[in-house]
Each structure stands twice: as structure tokens, then as C-alpha cells.
Amino acid sequence: MPPLSPQERRRSRRIKIGQPVKVRPSDPDDPQFEETSVTMNVSKDGIYFVSQKRAYSEGMRLFVAVPHHAPRDPQDREYLGQVVRVDTLAEGRFGIAVQLLSAWAAK
């Protein structure tokens, strides 16, 4: 049987929506940064956003706050996520696909 395409492996439907997101590495051994962006699409299990940072790698664990508001909103939640794909895009940008593993904490 041939391997499943990424779309066929998805467990839930993707919705194209721009939600503010803040990400930062969860492992202290990874390069430390904090980035805010906007999602390109979301599902109940993951998010996809665009970054100009080269710091992301497959398997990297992140703290993901989505939606992210400044100042903090009571609906903001932080999740533990894992990078499942890094796409090289035009103009030095990268598409970052993150699987949300669990709700971590409200910050």
C-alpha cells in the first residue's frame, strides 16, 4: 500500500483563518526566541504559520499560545506543540506545521 499523503493523514479538517499566535521553544537546549505570527490555517490538532526564522526543525517542541493577545485575554491558552513539517517558501520564508500535543497552561 502506498504511503498516505499529508492531507490523507490529517485527523481533522483545516480551516483557513488568521489567528494571532505566539511561539517559543520548550526545550532549554534549543535556540531561545519568542515569535509572534498569524496562522494560515488551524485545526483542532494543529496550526500552520509562516516565519522568517531558520530556527525551526522537525521534531522541535514549542509552547504555542493561540489565540494570542497583548495584553493577555482570558481566552488565551498555551499548548505544548511539536513541529511536524518545515516548508521552504519564497522570499526566505518558512511554513511551520505544528501538531498541538496538549493544553499546557493559561498564561
Q: What is the mean pLDDT of residues 55-71?
A: 88
What was the pLDDT predicted at 6?
Answer: 52
pTM here?
Answer: 0.80
How far is Cα of residue 58 from the mean position of the Cα atoms in its chain? 12
12 φ, ψ (degrees, to nearest 5): -145, 160
b/e per residue 6-19 (b: at least 16 CB within 10 A): eeeeeeeebeeeeb
Asked whether residue 8 carries a pLDDT value surpassing 50, the answer given is no
Residue 92 contacts residue 57 (beta carbons within 8 Å): no
Q: What is the mean pLDDT of residues 70-88?
A: 86
75 close to 32: Cβ distance less than 8 angstroms: no
Asked whether the beta carbons of 25 and 36 are under 8 A apart, the reply is: no
Give the confidence band of 47 by pLDDT, cuts at 50, 70, 90.
very high
